[in-house]
Amino acid sequence: MADTQTVATKPVETEPEKQPKSVRVVLLALMITMMLAMLDNMIVGTAMPTIVGELGGLEHLSWVVTGYTLATAASTPLWGKIGDMYGRKGVFMSSIVLFLIGSALSGMAQDMGQLIGFRAIQGLGAGGLMVGVMAIIGDLIPPRERGKYQGMMAGVMALAMIGGPLVGGTITDHWGWRWAFYINLPLGVVALAAISVVLHLPKKRAQARIDYLGAGLLTVGITAIVLVTTWGGSEYAWTSARIMELIGIGVAALIGFVFWQTKAAEPVVPLHIFRSRNFTLMSVIGFVTGFVMFGATLFLPLYQQSVQGASATNSGLLLLPMLGAMLVTSMVAGRVTTSTGKYKVFPVVGSVLMVVGLYLLSTMDTDTTRFMSGVFMAVVGLGMGCLMQITMLVAQNSVEMKDMGVASSSTTLFRTLGSSFGVAIMGALFNNRVQHVMTERAGAIGSKVTEKSAQLDAASLKKLPAVAREAYQHAVSSGTHSAFLLGAVVAVVALAAAVFVKEVPLKGAGPQ
């Protein structure tokens, strides 16, 4: 065990001193890869109307996103574990190659069925991108120093969210929708070349075989959960037989998975990592952050376009107050953590700001100005900036080097599942309120307007009679009130978890 630990920690102790320039090149390649993972859905989302116009298959439209999301969520834990067992570099490069193959095939798709299948291949690769980035940073840079790079990661995230819709629209308008996928290829090749030449990590060869049964049970469980949150309230009623079946399958698979992990020789997710109080608490905070963040990014542009009359063209820019605040706070949190080695204050303060910000967003109505909504968004952004990267940092600091991959993948998975639940539950609440208010204010006309979808685009909104349009603005305002109030309540869970975080010294923080 001692020998294994020495080999595994070698990059942390020697790489930054031997080749600081090389580490910076690797970090640049990792940020490009992270950008690929984050940009994809946002660019593709903008191109979807054009894709449907050419390929048809409108009834299968949701599967273009769902297939990708399912494959990403299901493969995330496996990439982390395989990296721990067989070496991070080769596994990470394999995930990039698989993502690029899926991107190229998606760009060549001739019908909606092919596109959905190729997007699933792309999603399988995407599952390893974020995990690989986080785990390799965990290998190369001691936790104490890792805070300095938080701003870089937060910047990539903000850039992807703001620039994604803009880039997607520009590419689709000028080059055609296929380039929404092809654009990944040159960026991916640059990242692959840099990582291949410059990244040096110890090679590993585990004696134990991959836990295929555990992997299968986890995949079934995650797939069932994501399908429940995706289909519930939209494709099927929450109380329908199909949703109940999926819930039963998901619960049974996850219970079986937990039981089997206690027996497996090399478990996919070693349960001993949850013995660390901080790791478990970070998983909870990560879940809540995903729940809140993706719910906010879904409903804020909708509110601003429907109620405040903002343009849909620059939808990414509408989130600038939140993302800008998140970027600044993340950079400050990283610098303070690096210089002091202290971090508990950030989850606590971040959770408080998130609760307050979400409550403020829930007070918005049809008279709220863009300036005030921007201030409210900034408060939420300040909170998320304190939480986004700190959760990964503390989670990685809570496990041994040999479990760095599964720690990174588990934290990423909890955030992904949180986002699935956030979009589903906040979406269901939003839709229910919109339907209710529309019927209440506009009667049969209002009910008919929103019977297919509670989210109308700008073109549909302009065609509505004045009475129905005014009713819809009040309905969206009421819907966002309910969604953000729920978000504030859920964020209290993150605050409760943050209070119990133990200040464990960061590894690499001076003499040990």
Which pLDDT tens digit goes with each residue over 295-315?
777 788 888 877 877 765 566
Q: Residue 345: pLDDT above 80?
A: yes
Task: State both tokens at 309.
Answer: 């009359």
Angle at 507 between CA 504 and CA 509, to 5 degrees: 95
pLDDT in tens, 353-366: 999 999 999 999 88
pLDDT-derived band at 405 (thresholds 50, 70, 90) equals confident
pLDDT in tens, 183-238: 889 989 998 988 888 887 766 665 667 788 888 898 899 889 888 887 887 778 88
What is the Cα–Cα distance from 43 to 172, expressed in whole angstroms? 9
First to last CA, the chain: 19
* pLDDT (average), residues 263-270: 84
* pLDDT (average), residues 108-127: 89
pLDDT-derived band at 13 (thresholds 50, 70, 90) equals very low
507 three-class SS: coil
Cβ atoms of 377 and 300 within 8 Å: the answer is yes
Percent of the chain with pLDDT strictly greater than 70: 86
Residue from 276, 407, 337, 404 nearest 10 by CA: 404
Give DSSP secondary structure letters for 21-73: HHHHHHHHHHHHHHHHHHHHHHHHHHHHHHHHHHH--GGGHHHHHHHHHHHHH
Give DSSP secondary structure letters for 211-242: -HHHHHHHHHHHHHHHHHHHHBTTTB-TTSHH
What is the Cα–Cα distance from 270 to 261, expressed in whole angstroms? 7
pLDDT-derived band at 20 (thresholds 50, 70, 90) equals low
2-18 and 112-140 helices cross at what angle (nearest 10)?
Answer: 90
| More confident site: 176 or 204 | 176
451: Cβ contacts below 8 Å, ≥ 6 apart: none
pLDDT-derived band at 7 (thresholds 50, 70, 90) equals very low
pLDDT in tens, 437-473: 888 776 666 566 655 555 565 566 667 777 777 888 8
| More confident site: 441 or 244 | 244
Angle at 91 between CA 85 and CA 94, to 5 degrees: 155
What is the Cα–Cα distance from 60 to 58, expressed in whole angstroms? 5
Please report which residue ranges of 56-174 form alpha helices under DSSP H.
Answer: 61-86, 88-107, 112-140, 143-146, 150-174
Task: State both tokens at 372.
Answer: 């005030």
pLDDT-derived band at 32 (thresholds 50, 70, 90) equals confident
Percent of the chain with pLDDT strictly greater than 90: 21
